[in-house]
Amino acid sequence: MWETPKQSIGFCGDGFWGIPDASVDFCEEKYIESYWVGEYYNTLSSLMYICVGIPFLFTKIKNIAWCIIGIGVGSILLHGTLRCYGQWVDEIFMILTVFKTLKYIRPYTSNIFLVISIYLYCNFSNLYFVFLIIFGILKMYFLYIIFKSNKIWLKVYISFFTMAFICWTLDQVACSFVQPFQLHAWWHLFTSISILCGMMELLNHK
State the pLDDT confidence band at 206, using cuts at 50, 70 and 90: low
Q: What pLDDT does 2 receive? A: 32
Q: State the Rg of the chain over Cα.
A: 17
Kindly report, residue by residue over 110-123, the tens digit of the pLDDT: 888 788 878 877 87
Average confidence score pLDDT of the chain: 85
Closest CA to 39 of 182, 178, 177: 182
Q: What is the pLDDT of residue 108?
A: 86
Residue 121's pLDDT is 79
Nearest to 100 by CA among 206, 197, 199: 199
pLDDT digits (tens, 9 = 90+) for 68-104: 999 999 999 999 999 999 999 998 999 899 889 888 9
Contact in structure between 38 and 30 (CB atoms under 8 Å): yes
Of the two residues 114 and 186, the one the predictor is more confident about is 186
